[in-house]
Structure 1
Amino acid sequence: MNEQVKIKRARKAVLLIFLVCGIGLSSWAPMVPFAKIRLGLNDADLGVVLLALGAGAIFTMPVSGFLINKYGSRVIALISAFVIAALLPLLLLTTSSYQLAAALFVFGAGVGSIDVAMNAQAVLVQDRFGSHIMSSFHGLFSVGGLLGSIGLGFLIKAGLSPNIAAMTISAMLVLITVTQIKHLLPHSEEAKMDSTNFVLPKGPVLVLGIMCFIIFLAEGSMLDWSAVFLQFSRDFDPSLSGMGYAAFSVAMAVMRLAGDGIIHRLGPAKVVLYGTLLAGTGFLIAVLAPWAATTLFGFVLVGLGAANVVPVFFTAAGRIPGIPPSIALSAVTILGYSGQLAGPALIGIIAEITSLSAALGLVGILLFIVAFGYKHRD
């Protein structure tokens, strides 16, 4: 096999692994209302339980970097995909909040591990490919977000029980993984990465990390709370409650697939300014307008606006003067993903004190703060 064919196959395989991650993670979104009702949880209790998913991901990310150095990203991607597929149906079989939290922790660990592994492969393939193709990988993750969130609801609407629908999704994830994993680039071609260095962020790294925290908080709010909001605040049928995350994912996928050109034309500072203003406006429209159509429109705006902000932040982190890119990126990444760890609990607690509308509206206000707080020059 010549090098060009090998890299093309590797690119396709990485794209499909991003798809697996997107489908697996987003399939949880329409399950949240089922879990809430079955276990009799209020918004605050649900928020605390949802902490476990982010905790599993955050806990596993540094460990995954070490394991990738030792065994390779291909092996870690395979194991992680199997963990996600195995845990997905179990999320609907738990009988207590403690069991659900434990299952979500392991599920989150699988998501965190495959996230590190697939991005390591993406960087390697991009280097070999010879041009910027990173946005296409993240675009396939968002496509997976659409397929998972709306696909599970479609299977339920077609007559399958939620448990069987989840098992069907899991079987598909396994099938995609086992057919593509062999095409990922082997460990022998991966450079050793210093994945264990982490220092407490400060100065520009801390500021950038806090902004990443808010963006990931916004994305996590869509994953964990959009279906709950549509079902309990907009009277959506449970089988259709995943439409909010689906609409968000479609918009994000479209913008990420076009992201390289958009950033090139507008520059990173304007992408952050316009993107966060648009996403913040989307949250406010979704919670203030009482109609189902305007709520979904608001979620679309969130996806359009937030899509390319994180890539800009990660690029900026790698260019902070006087700080090695590996150190800055490690700190900013972990701070960012912490938004998905703390986000569900914060939203749930605020929702219990006020309302879910107020909690999601606050996320919109935080995005406005990011819009005018980013000072990077093009």
Structure 2
Amino acid sequence: MPDSTTLPARQRVSTRAAFFIPGFAIACWAPLVPFAKARAGLDDAMLGVLLLCLGLGSLLSMPLAGMLAARRGCRQVMLLTVLMMVLTLPLLATASTPSAIGISLLVFGAGIGAMDCVMNIQAVVVERESGRAMMSGFHAFYSIGALTGAALVSLLLSAGASALAASLVVAAGVVAITAGSARWWRSERAPHGASSFALPRGVVVVIGVVCFISFLAEGSMLDWSAVFLHEVRGVAVAHAGWGFVAFNIAMTAARLLGDSVVNRLGPRIAVLAGGMLACGGFVLATLVPSFAMAMVGYALVGIGCANIVPVMFSLAGRQTRMPESVAIPAVTTMGYAGVLLGPAAIGFIAQQWSLQTAFLVAAAALACVAVIGSLLRVR
């Protein structure tokens, strides 16, 4: 049994592993989408409908995951979510009908969303007990997991491996990481009679709104950055994806350094500077007619957004308006809604006016986030 000096360190490492797992697993799905589309004979419209199942499963599972974590502890819930991911990954690589793909995505998304929620509850407790900012570093491992998973599956497929073989390799990796870290996941339960579900209220609503807009910006980069580079800047389709790569690498690097930045500047200044930097990145990429400047702008958006959400989760864990087992699922759900609804809102604005206008609206929203986030107070 570890002594009191090694236990906190092992819990920090196990929490990083918990963040790595869903990023690693969900990144496996992206390279498999074309295979699923061809296997089931889907058109673009049907594929779009089925992809909504992934987000729907996540949104539905997050409040339930918070309730279960309060009653059963984080460890049991996270082990259940890992089982859901491991069982559905091979199904995503083999399902050949729209209904089978949709059900698999619904269950897979539920596992990812529940893990996202509960791992943040654990991270809040581990950070609080450490007495220093650690949330940005935890979130960095989600990004590292996503980059690792996408690269691994792409390499396997390029080497001639089947979609099923690639998914089984990822599933085995998830099992191995879980086996090495689950022992140190938290098992505390909420006090008997404590609320396990409630609508967000007070400062939790404001924290959720900040997360919603920050995630909206991230979703916009994922779904619209390449479209902007191709259709507005005239970049070849084969190269348009580099904008999101620049955004993702910059965000990952900024999160790895984020804890020291937040400890040095304080959370309020970190959020203010981050929001303004992300706003400036959007403006630069949108208004300066240069591929190079667009890449710089996307990188600035990644750096600016990197530490806003981690700081918000830390605040959600410190506020006293709602129990953390209720507040964290509420904030996670509101933030994830931004990923789903944000790109749709960008598309609507682009249809009515232009994609440049939509990006400038996102920039203005990030400026508001910078101010609102920096003014938040928790007791």
Normalising by the smaller structure, the TM-score range is 0.7 to 0.9
Q: CA deviation at 1:309?
A: 0.8
Q: Tell me the SS of whatever aligns to 2:180.
A: helix
**In the alignment, is residue 40 of structure 1 matched against residue 61 of structure 2?**
no
**In the alignment, is residue 311 of structure 1 matched against residue 314 of structure 2?**
no
Residues 255-274 of structure 1 mapped to structure 2, 5 A cutoff:
255-274=254-273
Q: CA deviation at 1:256?
A: 1.8
Sequence identity percentage: 41
Query: RMSD value over aligned CA atoms?
Result: 3.8
Residues 152-231 of structure 1 mapped to structure 2, 5 A cutoff:
152-185=153-186, 187=187, 189-192=188-191, 194=194, 196-199=196-199, 201=201, 205-223=204-222
Q: CA deviation at 1:67?
A: 1.9
Q: CA deviation at 1:15?
A: 1.5
Q: CA deviation at 1:161?
A: 4.3
Q: For the residues of structure 2 that align with 1:54 and 1:117, how far apart are their CA atoms? A: 17
Gaps of 5+ in 1: none
**In the alignment, is residue 85 of structure 1 matched against residue 86 of structure 2?**
yes
Q: Which moved more, 1:361-370 or 1:139-148?
A: 361-370
Q: For the residues of structure 2 that align with 1:7 and 1:99, how far apart are their CA atoms? A: 43
Q: CA deviation at 1:310?
A: 1.4
Distance change in 2, residues 1:212/1:128 (3 Å) = closer
Are the equivalent residues in 2 in contact too, given 1:317–1:325 (CA < 8 A)? no
Q: CA deviation at 1:184?
A: 2.7
Distance change in 2, residues 1:329/1:117 (3 Å) = closer
Q: For the residues of structure 2 that align with 1:20 and 1:314, how far apart are their CA atoms? A: 19
Cα deviation 1:278-333 (Å, max 9, x = unaligned): 2234345556677766555443222211011113333445666x834646555444
Q: CA deviation at 1:272?
A: 2.4
Gaps of 5+ in 2: none
The residue number in structure 2 matching 1:16 is: 17
Q: For the residues of structure 2 that align with 1:229 and 1:91, how far apart are their CA atoms? A: 30
Distance change in 2, residues 1:59/1:221 (3 Å) = same
Q: For the residues of structure 1 that align with 2:157 and 2:262, how far apart are their CA atoms? A: 39
Q: CA deviation at 1:96?
A: 5.7
Aligned length, in residue pairs: 370
TM-score (norm 2): 0.79
The residue number in structure 1 matching 2:366 is: 367
Structure 2: which amino acid aligns with 1:311? P
Q: Tell me the SS of whatever aligns to 2:375.
A: coil
Structure 2: which amino acid aligns with 1:85? V
The residue number in structure 2 matching 1:61 is: 62
Are the equivalent residues in 2 in contact too, given 1:57–1:109 (CA < 8 A)? yes
The residue number in structure 2 matching 1:248 is: 247
